[in-house]
Structure 1
Amino acid sequence: MGLARLSLLQLVAGLLLSVGCVRGRFVVEKSSIKVITPPALRAKHDAAIGNFGVPQYGGSMLGSLVYPGKDSFGCEPFDGDKPFKSKSFHPKILLLDRGGCYFALKVWNGQQAGAAAVIVADNVDEPLITMDSPDESTDVDGYIEKIEVPSALIDHSLGESLKQALQKGDEVLIKLDWRESIPYPDDRVEYELWISSNDECGIRCDDQMDFVNNFRGHAQVLEKGGYTQFTPHYITWYCPEAFKLSNQCKSQCINRGRYCAPDPEQDFGVGYDGKDVVFENLRQLCVHRVANESNRSWVWWDYVTDFQIRCSMKEKKYSKDCAEGVIKSLDLPLDKIKQCMGDPEADVENPLLKAEQELQVGRGSRGDVTILPTLVINNVQYRGKLERTGVLKAICAGFKETTDPPVCLSQEVETNECLTQNGGCWLDASANVSACKDTFRGRVCECPLVGGVQYRGDGYTYCEPFGPGRCSINNGGCWSETREGMTYSACTDSLLSGCSCPLGFRGDGHQCEDIDECKEGSACQCESCSCRNTWGGYDCTCPGNRIYLAQHDTCIERNGSRLGWSIAITVLAAVAGLCAAGYIFYKYRLRSYMDSEIMAIMSQYMPLDNHQSNEVHSEGQPLRGGPTV
């Protein structure tokens, strides 16, 4: 057993060499911490997020800082019943000193004492590091998984300034802000999960598989909707050249020592070998690649969860045959997956595993991947407990506001700020139209699109419908009224925006009143006319038996004189006579023309009598047109 452990340590040394020729790099994700009061300390500072608990990605917390009078290290439970539980509007944020015990134990004791969050001040001036969780062997009470409050490490100088302000009796308000902890460069979130198919590594293996099982639904919804791009990764290292022929390397590595994994039981004589883990890791990489090529990348989540259930190491079912059975059940092309995996015994580089080793080295804003499991979102390492809601919040924080998918507005993560006073946004209660839109980070006041009609405005004090069809929604926000069966409106589709009172009314379009044209003298200007105002118009009446012509604003006689009628009758009679004479002449000319045409046709076929009497026929000669005698 001692030899086995010694060889394992030597392989770990190989891991350090395999990370690259450069020194290992660990990038700390920083979130803003802002001191609100006292004014002399008002400023923004960096704070490294703890790698346990649940950071409120996409959110923030404003709290009152408290520093314990004794046991400022927080290594022992605090006296009393939740002494740091807030009794006012602001939650309590506990400030502790670094040193004396594990970071996680400090935060656990602070949580038990009622603190809403814990800040640890560094004890020396140095670059910030991530407060990581201790080894599972030191967590005898299982408190690490029970930590729910967020935590962060601040630098030594800021910690001293905050403590001095508290000692002087100043109220110190600070704001922990995680809204910008995850960058959002575009409309799609790219995230990756570094895990292992090994399920015998203790609490970390249990945590990663619990997460995969619980997060699968959210992951597949996001992937199918095109909102995210997920990529799984697996850590491997190579065997040092001097140990390639050793039994330890042969049992833990494939491709002649190029890709290795630790022995699951940490005992080379029993159970499964490290090379079994490497080979299954490679298979899972190929499952994702082949599924992705057929636009079914989300099937990887089904394969990993099914493999854990059907092919567990603990049940001695962790095998190639079991894995291929899972592949077939998910209708994945087994031949393509085998081709992707290649020959594990070949003395050549495997392109997929070689790429994985190169990706382990940190680049840009992401540090080296050194622990499992590790989640990276938009190239930033996730910090905190790997659990469904916390990870979903972190992924949702990677979307630009208003572009987050519906799953980010589910009940478990939605803020519902629009439910309280409409979020301070514009609201038209009569039409049930609001400019308040819930987002993952809170809410935005943005004029909405309703029924194909776009509203525009500042979203806070006003919004108005704009464009064609706007009059169909609450009359475009314009005036409208019906009286005596007649409806007038200040909204017309000919105007893309705004309201204009119709003819016969005046006002700003939101309020219109009838114009009394008669009183203002703008109607019925004709001599002796009388004017009566109506709603939206007017009526003009002429005296006697006269008729009013609105087009000319004049009156004409309803009944003409006898002379006029006589002239009219004479004219009509003359016109009628001319029409009759014309008709008779037309009929005569038509009849003559028809007769002449008929005579011409008949003369071609039948001889006239006078022609026949003058003709002399010889004996036996037939008559023209007649039969032969």
Structure 2
Amino acid sequence: MLLKKLKVLVLILTVGLSSVCARFVVEKSSLSVLSPLSLRGKRDGSIGNFGIPDYGGFLVGSVVYPDKGTFGCAAFEGDKPFKSKFPRPTILLLDRGECYFALKVWNGQQAGAAAVLVADNIDEPLITMDSPEESTDADGYVEKIGIPSALIERSFGESLKQALKKGEEDVVIKLDWRESVPHPDQRVEYELWTNSNDECGTRCDEQMNFVKSFKGHAQILEKGGYTLFTPHYITWYCPQAFILSSQCKSQCINRGRYCAPDPEQDFGEGYQGKDVVFENLRQLCVHRVANESNRSWVWWDYVTDFHIRCSMKEKKYSKECAEDVMKSLGLPIEKIKKCVGDPEADVENEVLKTEQQRQIGRGSRGDVTILPTLVINNVQYRGKLERTAVLKAICAGFKETTDPSICLSSDLETNECLERNGGCWQDSKANITACKDTFRGRVCECPTVKGVQYRGDGYLSCLAYGPGRCELNNGGCWSDSKNGLTFSACSESQLMGCQCPKGFRGNGLTCEDINECKERSACQCDGCSCKNTWGGYECKCKGDLLYIKEQDTCIERSGSKFGWFLTFVVLTVVVGAGLAGYVFYKYRLRSYMDSEIMAIMSQYMPLDSQHNNEASSEAQPLRQTSV
């Protein structure tokens, strides 16, 4: 009922303010066909208004079209028949018709699909798949939908079905939500269209639960200056001819200018629509006054406290209770009263008039038609109004590398890596993985560990690259030890890759010993016997022969008696010749040295004998004279 009333509300507003029909904008995500080659290219899909679109991220999956139950209106047989057994997840393709969009997606999720595409059944511009109007059945599953979905054009759906029918190639699609939320600058601007009424059923419970759970994140973002948040409230007005009617008097303030539906849908009992308008106005003024003192985040405290302390269910929904909440939060009551003004006056209220004008869509944003509605960077958010899903969407509105720390905290970890390692490559022995959880979803990227970069596709393979790689789990290569010997397929001389060492064969990731004896690649000499060893072989010659490995030949280890005699004779001759040479050398050397010494001495000895001769000849005449 609330949904129908709000649509009527916007229609009246639009006719009265702009004299044109209401304008609805379909928010789209990008779809890229990666294979087969004949379909490769980009298409659009309208984002479903339920589930959790992967804002800021993308999903690559293989398309599956069921053999039966193509409308997806009944549960699929088997235990998760569409859950992928391969690295890529499953994107389920279904046909439009016969049941609610949300029911199709719910059944797809139950069957193990990671996303659902619904092919339109007529040729028309894309529309937004909305959740069912409030019903007991819908309440049971709509809030449990946690996968993304999109509506695609009929012609595109037929092309996918034909490609699947041929079965020649896997049909792979990339769903990309990275540009679904624009990021024009380093600050995200977002607004929430809500209501102070807590008696309007499931929708009101949803938006109030969201405000309570998201409050902490919102205040951190605002206090840090990362976001600019603005609350909004929908109203409509009574046509001039009905201003004095009891319906308008009970649902409107300021002489029919601003109206809201009766909370109980009964004009004769309980609270009236004008009570809701009045409190909506008060909450707008709380934000406006708090913003003037740079405390805009106090709005979140006021709204949650008012809901707890001033509930309609407990008959405490009143002006007096609201002022008690303001006092407890230190808000200036008089300023807020001045902002609110006189609800009985026959004049325009500046705050509510601005709200009515903002309900009309401008630029990339359509008209606001239902509650709650979240708008991020002037684009309407699609999907479940849930704490982490909304935080992720807001974080997607930041330019990359400018994300505040709250966007990188564990609160936004998708934890996809916990299940099957997210379908990414993993070295369980070294506890190294290519899977990384981020607020934009899990990514499969080869990591850098202790300065060593891994390279590969991140899904099926990652190999260590560069120096030092063999120190990290042997570079991911094969290695084994036996009998005190260790062999490895990793070599520091190679920057990447694995190669089995000599004596082994394999791809480097696994290596097995080569039996050289069995393959007759060793010990080919005549009379040789071969024994295989781990990583090598041993050859043995028959008899007493000695094996020479380099020449693959056998030689005698001991010779004949004649050979020994001949060897003895030769050795004797050699030794005798050596001794004779030594004696001859010694004699000749001694003679040579003696002659040399005599030659040197002879130069000095003659002088001495001559001097003696001369002395004796002089002495003889003297003796004769005396005689």
**TM > 0.5 fold call:** yes
Alignment-derived partner of residue 55 in structure 1: 53
TM-superposition CA deviations, 1:24-44 (whole Å, max 9, x none):
011011110110100110101
Determine if the alignment matches structure 1 residue 165 to structure 2 residue 163.
Answer: yes
Paired amino acid for 2:250: S
Alignment-derived partner of residue 97 in structure 2: 99
Task: After TM superposition, give the deviation of residue 85 of structure 1 in Å.
Answer: 1.0
- Asked if 1 retains the 8 angstrom alpha-carbon contact of 2:412 and 2:439, the reply is no
SS of the residue corresponding to residue 136 of structure 1 reads coil
SS of the residue corresponding to residue 287 of structure 1 reads helix
1: CA distance, partners of 2:350 / 2:133? 34
Paired amino acid for 1:153: L
Task: After TM superposition, give the deviation of residue 13 of structure 1 in Å.
Answer: 6.4
- Asked if 2 retains the 8 angstrom alpha-carbon contact of 1:11 and 1:239, the reply is no
Alignment-derived partner of residue 391 in structure 1: 390
Alignment-derived partner of residue 465 in structure 1: none
Paired amino acid for 2:54: Q
Alignment-derived partner of residue 224 in structure 2: 225
Task: After TM superposition, give the deviation of residue 23 of structure 1 in Å.
Answer: 1.1
2: CA distance, partners of 1:313 / 1:76? 39
1: CA distance, partners of 2:19 / 2:356? 12
Q: Which runs of 5+ in 1 are unaligned?
A: 1-5, 425-435, 448-460, 463-629
TM-superposition CA deviations, 1:522-562 (whole Å, max 9, x none):
xxxxxxxxxxxxxxxxxxxxxxxxxxxxxxxxxxxxxxxxx
Equivalent residues in 2 for 1:165-184, closer than 5 Å: 165-169=163-167, 170-184=169-183
> So what's the TM-score if we normalise by structure 1?
0.65
Alignment-derived partner of residue 355 in structure 1: 354
- Asked if 2 retains the 8 angstrom alpha-carbon contact of 1:55 and 1:151, the reply is yes
Determine if the alignment matches structure 1 residue 65 to structure 2 residue 58.
Answer: no
Greater displacement, 189-198 / 123-132: 123-132
Are the structure 2 counterparts of residues 12 and 48 from structure 1 closer, same or farther at C-alpha, using a change threshold of 3 Å? closer
Determine if the alignment matches structure 1 residue 329 to structure 2 residue 328.
Answer: yes
Equivalent residues in 2 for 1:518-597, closer than 5 Å: none
2: CA distance, partners of 1:8 / 1:292? 29
Kindly report structure 1 stretches of 4+ aligned residues shifted beyond 6 Å: 6-13, 415-420, 436-439, 441-445
Task: After TM superposition, give the deviation of residue 440 of structure 1 in Å.
Answer: 5.1
Alignment-derived partner of residue 21 in structure 1: 19
Task: After TM superposition, give the deviation of residue 70 of structure 1 in Å.
Answer: 1.3
Selected match of 1:43 from 29, 36, 41 = 41
Task: After TM superposition, give the deviation of residue 413 of structure 1 in Å.
Answer: 2.0
2: CA distance, partners of 1:10 / 1:159? 34
Task: After TM superposition, give the deviation of residue 412 of structure 1 in Å.
Answer: 2.9
Paired amino acid for 1:181: S
2: CA distance, partners of 1:13 / 1:164? 42
Are the structure 2 counterparts of residues 292 and 11 from structure 1 closer, same or farther at C-alpha, using a change threshold of 3 Å? closer
- Asked if 2 retains the 8 angstrom alpha-carbon contact of 1:18 and 1:357, the reply is no
2: CA distance, partners of 1:232 / 1:34? 36
Equivalent residues in 2 for 1:285-434, closer than 5 Å: 285-414=284-413
Task: After TM superposition, give the deviation of residue 171 of structure 1 in Å.
Answer: 1.2
Equivalent residues in 2 for 1:137-286, closer than 5 Å: 137=135, 139-140=137-138, 142-169=140-167, 170-286=169-285
Percent identity between the aligned chains?
75
Paired amino acid for 1:385: K
Paired amino acid for 1:411: S
SS of the residue corresponding to residue 398 of structure 1 reads coil
Paired amino acid for 2:229: F
SS of the residue corresponding to residue 93 of structure 1 reads strand
1: CA distance, partners of 2:440 / 2:99? 36
Task: After TM superposition, give the deviation of residue 14 of structure 1 in Å.
Answer: 3.7
Task: After TM superposition, give the deviation of residue 79 of structure 1 in Å.
Answer: 1.3
Greater displacement, 13-22 / 181-190: 13-22
Task: After TM superposition, give the deviation of residue 115 of structure 1 in Å.
Answer: 0.8
TM-superposition CA deviations, 1:344-390 (whole Å, max 9, x none):
01101001100100100001111100000000000000000000000
Task: After TM superposition, give the deviation of residue 296 of structure 1 in Å.
Answer: 0.1
1: CA distance, partners of 2:439 / 2:392? 12
Q: How many residues in Structure 1 have an aligned counterpart in Structure 2?
A: 432
SS of the residue corresponding to residue 402 of structure 1 reads coil
Alignment-derived partner of residue 124 in structure 1: 122
> So what's the TM-score if we normalise by structure 2?
0.65
2: CA distance, partners of 1:99 / 1:268? 39
Are the structure 2 counterparts of residues 82 and 32 from structure 1 closer, same or farther at C-alpha, using a change threshold of 3 Å? same
Alignment-derived partner of residue 538 in structure 1: none
Alignment-derived partner of residue 135 in structure 1: 133
Paired amino acid for 1:23: C
2: CA distance, partners of 1:363 / 1:10? 20
Task: After TM superposition, give the deviation of residue 415 of structure 1 in Å.
Answer: 7.1
Paired amino acid for 1:89: P
Task: After TM superposition, give the deviation of residue 235 of structure 1 in Å.
Answer: 0.2
